[in-house]
Amino acid sequence: MQSTSFEPKRLPLIGQQINRMNSITTDSRVSNGFIEKFENGEVWLYKRPGTASYLAPGSTGQGLGCYNWNGVIYSIRGTTLYSGTTSLGTVDGTSAYSFVSVLGGTPRLFFHNNAAAYYYSSTDGLVQLQTNNLITEACNITSGSTTVVVPANTITTEEIGATVTGTGIPAATTVASIVDTTHITISNAATATTTGVSLTFAWPSGYPISTAVPGCAYLDGTVYVLDSGGYIHGSDINQVNIWNPLNIILCQLDSDTGVALHRQLTYIIAFKQWTTEVFYDAGQSPGSPLGSVRGAKLNVGCASASSIQDIDGTLIWVTGSRSGAPTVMTMSNLQSQVISTPPVERLLQDANMSSVYSWNIKVAGHVFYGLTLKGSNVTLVYDFTIKEWYIWTDNNGNYFPYVSSTSLGNTQGILQHETQPLLASMDLTNYTDAGSVNFPVDLYTPNFDGGVKFNKMLKRMDVIGDQYASSNPVNITYSEDDYQTWSTTRTVDLSQKRPFLTDCGTFRRRAYHINHNTALPLRLKALEMYIATGSK
């Protein structure tokens, strides 16, 4: 016998991000949304902020990094460095870049990838650091003169102070200044007049680019980088063009290889394959000023340098360990904590870590960390504010196509697009992505059976959420076979005072899929179901 008493039951829309295996196509999840929890126990689903064009530097090429330096967004797309939308010159385009600001008499922006290193300043322009410590050029010299004619664009401010040797050059001669692109001055006048004389320019040390891994850190005037062998190299004080070969220290608490270098508070953090080591400025001299904080070592390393983000002094990254079980971990005040859930870790375990992007952004009162596993075609987003995981996508349901991030100081965050010439802002009042492209919000509820396996007749179902002034449709389907197949779509309009569906059938257990794909806002709380429970 079927009961005729229909009692309202509230089905909360939000369950924890769940995937029972290594796929995201089953179980409850939120796609292109985020949630807020209130003290009265209510949980609301919001549509994620959309993106809007902030700047459009370049035209083609891979996005390789962006950085706010002195209030201007510097970015690299393809093989070009941009200040805002102005091209500053050509750089290597083989991999993503790390940036750090350097002080001193002439402030500089230092940046490098796995193949080249550069600095930029308003005085010197774009300068590539040399990887060796000498070059030989065919030059013109005049007896009694300190001016030397050199081939165009071969000697830069990086070589000021370099030792000069060759026929007609007195002993202990150095580069004194750069006159222009083809003329320099030397500290001693030449003793001969010669055209095409071979002169050698040698300076203290070249940049250790051949083995440098991602990441860099500025601490107490020194820029530090890490090589794959586990050595931390340091520059001279506020001199990124001079890398003394004595300023080097080995991460040797374990024998694994170097992966990335970052800074937290006043510490240098060296991420390796299976371990993480911490260093501080011990003021040592000669040699590296760094000393090891041995008690702060972690027995996990980093599975992908591209996963590391610094969010107001908290580092977040995907770990690597000898157990082969990656997690997402944070480090704050040298204290580490795992923030990934078992479902997220199941996705990480089979992911290809050679193709990873990450970013962070503060928007709509939340702090988000985005982790894209490109090989798995998924972007996982962690909400630091409420400690939940979501999935964000593009308009076609593929991964969220942004590769790096920076900010405009205290105003807003900026994301760099993977392939489009786009630096984008995010805002809760943007209901589309850049280019007025709609993106779908998809909510999959947990399976619901009301606590019993009896048949349940659903007479009416109200959608509890915000009301809107104009038509705002939401599509609803359900699955009664554990997310395998879905019913015919029905639509409710959130502009109605009481959006609802009637004659919703009989079921033992159901999961609902709510879809919203219009350029309009969305905020939902629950489904109110008028159910009569049978006896079978």
Question: Which tens digit of pLDDT belongs to each residue from 184-200?
Answer: 999 999 999 999 999 98
What distance in Å separates the CA atoms of residue 536 and residue 534, rounded to the nearest whole number?
A: 6
What distance in Å separates the CA atoms of residue 304 and residue 133, rounded to the nearest whole number?
A: 31
What distance in Å separates the CA atoms of residue 270 and residue 229, rounded to the nearest whole number?
A: 12
What distance in Å separates the CA atoms of residue 105 and residue 38, rounded to the nearest whole number?
A: 51
Instruction: Give 58 or 516, the one with higher predicted confidence.
Output: 516
Q: Are 179 and 147 in contact (CB under 8 A)?
A: yes
Q: How confident is the model at residue 305, as a pLDDT?
A: 98
Q: How confident is the model at residue 163, as a pLDDT?
A: 86
**Mean pLDDT along residues 83-111:** 95
Q: Report the SS3 class of residue 429.
A: coil
Span 240-262, pLDDT tens digits: 888 887 899 999 999 999 999 99
What's the mean per-residue pLDDT of the chain?
92
**Mean pLDDT along residues 6-14:** 79
Span 411-446, pLDDT tens digits: 789 999 999 999 999 999 999 998 789 999 999 998
Q: How many CB atoms lie within 10 A of CB 418?
A: 18
Q: Which CATH class is domain 7-32+440-533?
A: mainly beta
Q: Give the domain ranges of the chain.
A: 7-32+440-533, 134-202
Residue 204 has pLDDT above 70, yes or no: no
pLDDT band at 133 (very low <50, low <70, confident <90, very high): low
Q: How confident is the model at residue 81, as a pLDDT?
A: 98
Percent of the chain predicted with pLDDT > 90? 75
Instruction: Give 155 or 251, the one with higher predicted confidence.
Output: 251
- Beta-carbon contacts of 329 under 8 Å, excluding residues fewer than 6 positions away, are 300, 316, 317, 318, 319, 336, 337, 338, 339, 340
Global pTM value: 0.87
User: Per the structure block, which two tokens stand in for 197?
Assistant: 């004389």
What distance in Å separates the CA atoms of residue 386 and residue 370, rounded to the nearest whole number?
A: 15
Q: How confident is the model at residue 1, as a pLDDT?
A: 41
Q: How confident is the model at residue 157, as a pLDDT?
A: 63
Q: In what order do the strands lie in the sheet with 108-112?
A: 98-102, 108-112, 117-121, 125-128
Instruction: Give 8 or 461, the one with higher predicted confidence.
Output: 461
- Residues composing the chain: 536
What distance in Å separates the CA atoms of residue 78 and residue 392, rounded to the nearest whole number?
A: 25
**Mean pLDDT along residues 82-111:** 95
Q: Name the CATH architecture for the domain at 134-202.
A: Beta Barrel (2.40)
Nearest to 358 by CA among 415, 433, 300: 415
Type of residue found at 296:
A
What distance in Å separates the CA atoms of residue 14 and residue 194, rounded to the nearest whole number?
A: 80
**Mean pLDDT along residues 98-126:** 93
What distance in Å separates the CA atoms of residue 256 and residue 276, rounded to the nearest whole number?
A: 10
Span 320-343, pLDDT tens digits: 999 888 999 999 999 999 999 999
**Mean pLDDT along residues 86-105:** 95
Q: Based on C-alpha coordinates, what's the Rg of the chain?
A: 29
Peptide bond connecting 151 to the previous residue in cis, omega within 30 degrees of 0: no
Span 391-416, pLDDT tens digits: 999 999 999 999 999 998 777 899 99
